[in-house]
Amino acid sequence: MSTPARPLLQVIIGSSRPGRIGSAFAEWFTGLAEKHGAFDVETIDLAEVGLPFLDEPNHPKLRQYTHQHTLDWSATVERADAYVLVTPEYNYGYSAVLKNALDFLCHEWADKPVGFVSYGGVGAGVRAVQQLKQVVTTLRMVPVLESVNIPFAWGKLAEGRVAPEDAALDQSAELMLDELARLTRKLRTA
Amino acid sequence: MSTPARPLLQVIIGSSRPGRIGSAFAEWFTGLAEKHGAFDVETIDLAEVGLPFLDEPNHPKLRQYTHQHTLDWSATVERADAYVLVTPEYNYGYSAVLKNALDFLCHEWADKPVGFVSYGGVGAGVRAVQQLKQVVTTLRMVPVLESVNIPFAWGKLAEGRVAPEDAALDQSAELMLDELARLTRKLRTA
Amino acid sequence: MSTPARPLLQVIIGSSRPGRIGSAFAEWFTGLAEKHGAFDVETIDLAEVGLPFLDEPNHPKLRQYTHQHTLDWSATVERADAYVLVTPEYNYGYSAVLKNALDFLCHEWADKPVGFVSYGGVGAGVRAVQQLKQVVTTLRMVPVLESVNIPFAWGKLAEGRVAPEDAALDQSAELMLDELARLTRKLRTA
Amino acid sequence: MSTPARPLLQVIIGSSRPGRIGSAFAEWFTGLAEKHGAFDVETIDLAEVGLPFLDEPNHPKLRQYTHQHTLDWSATVERADAYVLVTPEYNYGYSAVLKNALDFLCHEWADKPVGFVSYGGVGAGVRAVQQLKQVVTTLRMVPVLESVNIPFAWGKLAEGRVAPEDAALDQSAELMLDELARLTRKLRTA
């Protein structure tokens, strides 16, 4: 008897600037997601993906991609069942590198739930999340209510890692993973 | 052999001011929804519901309502499987009367798809819709991408009714109803 | 030699529900604004203003008001040179009572700076502020960047008052008042 | 007696993808701005500016730039007194290339009015404008209410130019230029 495959969750690091702290929060969240057990987990670092600014001549809904980097990015995103966007907040909005990666594709994102790990100052990055909700729903993703929002984020890090442990933060991650799993089940039905 | 019950769609009129035109668009859309056939259809006029400004002392997620008008509104919203909000745009945002009706409740809205009929000037009311998406996702509704957006709305009316017929507008309504039906099926699964 | 009149700042309490905590933050902020000295300060409690849901038949830009409550509200708002909106966050948006008060008028608000005192949970109410910026700029108010954002707001209160003192919060209020004063001077010029 | 210098308006083309139509609307608007007469006018094409994704290690408010491309971009933006952003709408948000150019700098943008030329489908690009208002106010720009919003934009072009003439569109541009000039005067005062 075969075990049904677990759905695949991609944790996407939405910043690429030198000195970014998003990679530390992505690493921390990925560890919790693996322990959670509802998903196979994969980390996608947009700095490594290395897309240029949108350079496709056709609307992505046509799926007539002309560049190898777009075909590769399409294959990567297509294979996931759910996403978590690890998002900085720049000027109360989302980063260019994250928006660019979202805009490159269309149908690959559809009918999949999406959660957010945001970080910032007093607002914990939630202003970027709110703008992103208006974007991801346009791509037919379903944003989950549960969220991981990290205020005064620089103070949560020691030597580039999330430390010390913060039980409230861990719990918010677990609740978001529960909700992502619940919605993944619903959205995969025919 | 019994016929399975059709899901219930509520068309909610989100304006109540004297001279409003939202009721005309709601009447028009309700007619199309009935012809579409995927839903039983009910129109809710917030002017008739007549809620006061939010006057419950407890957070609605506790569902400890203290007023009869809240209990009645809760029973109304609870029975629907999907919603269409007919929304004006006031100062590039949503109306107070619509936001107030949303804020009164919580769990009643959850796990149900929601579409929008918006109307306005050059922007067709889409700025109000975008703000509403940030609100309805907080109530765990799932906003559908397909939308009915009516630009220069006063020009679409004659003697208080939508006339003459506008095939593009009718088609946008049909596409939205298709998508509402598709998501209602997914979201009702256990 | 006469002393030039100080500009008038109105602190508007944007919640009216039983059990609201916005009035405590408004009282606290008003005290700081009076000490700051750049403005004469007036508190406006929308619960006392008692406007109904928007019931004017004409667009407020025409200024053809038909109700006494609108004429009174118009005279109140007209006399201020700057505003601070004390705003709750309901479902990641603004309250109906605050939006309704804004929508009733038009030219009365124009060419005046506006700041925000927001309160909430982890996000400190900033999601409501961001939606309000899209509304106030439509009314030609100029939102200031400096802001007072109070996270986990219930923990800042003791016996209905802001206590104990929080130096960081007091400083954010002072910076916002400085910026309101700076912009008031610019915007009053011919 | 010398003639006082006219303020400088920069028209910034916020798209760079192959096949973009924003450059045609920028060319059209620049022509009208020159005829209007209140400003010296300069067109900035972000495709030519050619910034990489944000690669500065320090927060731009520190103005400690480490790359020549940042120093050049800073000098360009600094010299303007007002801006018009010609913005596409991608997935109901702003383009990566425009957000990236905004995020690179900070004080250079402050205390200057900004208008928008947006283009799109039924919504005329206004959803991108609304998100941009939340960004530009964070950079202390003052967004003007008057706006140029072009619905069904592809239909306004013939052979890569705006044609035939559209009196309503021309008038919206003139009103926006009037308001930019009015606010430039106010904001330049000490």
Band of residue C164 on the pLDDT scale cut at 50, 70, 90: confident
Q: CB of A169 within 8 A of CB of C122?
A: no
- Cβ contacts of A31 within 8 Å, gap of 6 or more: none
* Chains touching B, CB cut-off 8 Å, 3+ pairs: A, C, D
Measure A43 CA to nearest chain D CA, in Å: 21
Mean pLDDT of D178-183: 98
Map out the domains of chain D as residue ranges. Answer: 8-189
- The rounded distance, in Å, linking the Cα atoms of B45 and A174 is 40
Q: What chain B residue is nearest to D123 in terms of C-alpha separation?
A: B123
Q: Above 80 in pLDDT, residue D5? A: yes
The pLDDT tens digits of the residues spanning D77-87 come to 999 999 999 99
Name residues 136-175 of chain A within 8 A of D (Cβ).
Answer: 138-139
pTM over 0.80: yes
Chain D residues whose beta carbon lies within 8 Å of the beta carbon of residue A131: 93, 131, 134
The pLDDT tens digits of the residues spanning A170-179 come to 999 999 999 9
Band of residue C136 on the pLDDT scale cut at 50, 70, 90: very high
| CB count in 10 Å sphere of residue A122 | 18
Q: Which of D133, D138, D140 sits opposite C137 (nearest CB)?
A: D133
pLDDT score of D74: 98
Mean pLDDT of A17-43: 97
Q: Does domain A8-189 have CATH number 3.30.390.30?
A: no
Q: What chain B residue is nearest to D168 in terms of C-alpha separation?
A: B122
Mean pLDDT of C121-128: 97
ipTM of model: 0.96
* CA neighbor of D14 nearest in space, from D106, D113, D111, D131: D131
Chain A residues whose beta carbon lies within 8 Å of the beta carbon of residue B142: 142
pLDDT score of C119: 98
**Mean pLDDT estimate for chain C:** 96
Return contacts of A22-27, CB within 8 angstroms, 24+ apart.
A22/A86, A22/A87, A22/A88, A22/A119, A24/A157, A24/A160, A24/A161, A24/A162, A25/A86, A25/A117, A25/A119, A25/A150, A25/A153, A25/A162, A26/A86, A26/A117, A27/A161, A27/A162
Tens of pLDDT along chain B (190 residues) come to 455 689 999 999 999 999 999 999 999 999 999 999 999 999 999 999 999 999 999 999 999 999 999 999 999 999 999 999 999 999 999 999 999 999 999 999 999 999 999 999 999 999 999 999 999 999 999 999 999 999 999 999 998 899 888 899 999 999 999 999 999 999 987 6
pLDDT score of D67: 98
Q: Above 70 in pLDDT, residue A190? A: no
Q: Which of C145, C185, C186 sits opposite D138 (nearest CB)?
A: C145
| Cβ separation C90–B97 shorter than 8 A | no
